[in-house]
Amino acid sequence: MTPCPVCKSDALPFWRERECSAARCAECEHVFSEGARDAAVYEADYFERWYLAHRDARLAYFVELIDRHGLEPRAPLLDVGAGVGLWLEVCRGLGLAEATAVEPSEYGRARLAELRDASMPSLEIRAALGELEGRAGRYRTVTVLDVLSHVDDLRGTLEAIRRLLAPDGQLIVKAPNHAPALFRAARWLAPLGRGRALLCVRSQQHHFAPDSLPGLLARFGFRTRHLAALHEAPPRLLGDPRSWALNRVARLAVGSESMLWIGTPDG
Ligand SMILES: [Zn+2]
């Protein structure tokens, strides 16, 4: 059994379907995927299917997210896992000029470079947080939107963000809601072989819930200011009936597919 990626304690089996499984830490209760995982999923196919195919709907969704939750993306902003830059494009439209995008995918960085050249000349593009050494306390906003579930090194990522965030800065996290009820629903779908898809275990390595995310972030020095349930924008899932059906199951099982967390450094 893999040790817990948050606290290194022993973990216990939590869920399994065929070659995929998840474990839960006996100490901090963090739930994480084990076993088969798609390598290099975050390239052209992934971004084109999930983001660029619904580009306008995605941009509108971010605008609505900002309006509804009163988000204030203050500069300098660091976007961790910036993808193809749709979030930064929306922030740019609101007047934000100074930003750093960290994106491990070469495809994503190429799209970000297009955004920089078209309308955001001061956008800095990096492949990893490790390239920002020496910038402690620099960023007034750090955004991690649908990214934290995917990172290889959860502990290192959160420690780096805590270092980089300004004392008066804000951290904004958006993540899928993978509460224990979703794992129960996944067990019901196991005979169909669809539990894995419901939990996205081939790409999502960490599973957060409204009950667990604030405690996890507190471990790394963040104080919760706002936590809200989110319903995903349907256009993201249109055109794929199986994804739409799984989205309905998730909403029935846990009430909302995603959550938005906003916090500040705790000291
Ligand atoms: Zn743990």
What's the pLDDT score for residue 2? 86
User: What is the DSSP-derived secondary structure letter of residue 170?
Assistant: E
- Who's near 194: CB < 8 A, 6+ residues apart? 242, 246
Task: Using the mean position of ligand 1's atoms as its centre, give its distance from the Cα of residue 11 in Å.
Answer: 7
What's the pLDDT score for residue 221? 98
CA–CA separation, 98 vs 231, rounded Å? 30
Instruction: Name the maximum alpha-carbon separation found in the chain.
Output: 52
What's the pLDDT score for residue 1? 75
pLDDT tens for the chain, 267 residues: list them: 789 999 999 999 999 988 889 999 999 999 999 875 665 567 888 888 878 888 888 899 999 999 999 999 999 999 999 999 999 999 999 999 999 999 999 999 999 999 999 999 999 999 999 999 999 999 999 999 999 999 989 999 999 999 999 999 999 999 999 999 999 999 998 888 888 888 887 788 999 999 999 999 999 999 999 999 998 755 554 556 777 778 888 888 888 889 999 999 997
- Who's near 43: CB < 8 A, 6+ residues apart? 105, 106, 107
Task: Using the mean position of ligand 1's atoms as its centre, give its distance from the Cα of residue 267 in Å.
Answer: 23
- Who's near 10: CB < 8 A, 6+ residues apart? 1, 3, 4, 25, 26, 27
Task: Using the mean position of ligand 1's atoms as its centre, give its distance from the Cα of residue 225 in Å.
Answer: 23
Tokens, residue 118: 């078209």
CA–CA separation, 82 vs 87, rounded Å? 7
Task: Using the mean position of ligand 1's atoms as its centre, give its distance from the Cα of residue 181 in Å.
Answer: 20
What's the pLDDT score for residue 239? 56
Burial class (CB in 10 A: 0-12, 13-18, 19+), 127: middle
Task: Using the mean position of ligand 1's atoms as its centre, give its distance from the Cα of residue 224 in Å.
Answer: 20
Task: Using the mean position of ligand 1's atoms as its centre, give its distance from the Cα of residue 172 in Å.
Answer: 23
Task: Using the mean position of ligand 1's atoms as its centre, give its distance from the Cα of residue 50 in Å.
Answer: 31
Q: Is the peptide bond before 121 cis (omega within 30 degrees of 0)?
A: no
What's the pLDDT score for residue 41? 67
Task: Using the mean position of ligand 1's atoms as its centre, give its distance from the Cα of residue 8 in Å.
Answer: 6
What's the pLDDT score for residue 168? 97
Cβ(79)–Cβ(174) below 8 Å: no
Task: Using the mean position of ligand 1's atoms as its centre, give its distance from the Cα of residue 1 in Å.
Answer: 13
Task: Using the mean position of ligand 1's atoms as its centre, give its distance from the Cα of residue 30 in Å.
Answer: 5
Q: Which amino acid is at 213?
A: L
Question: Of 90, 108, 165, whose CA–CA distance to 132 is shortest?
Answer: 165
What's the pLDDT score for residue 247? 80
- The CATH number of 38-265 is 3.40.50.150
Task: Using the mean position of ligand 1's atoms as its centre, give its distance from the Cα of residue 32 in Å.
Answer: 10
Q: Where are the domains of the chain?
A: 38-265
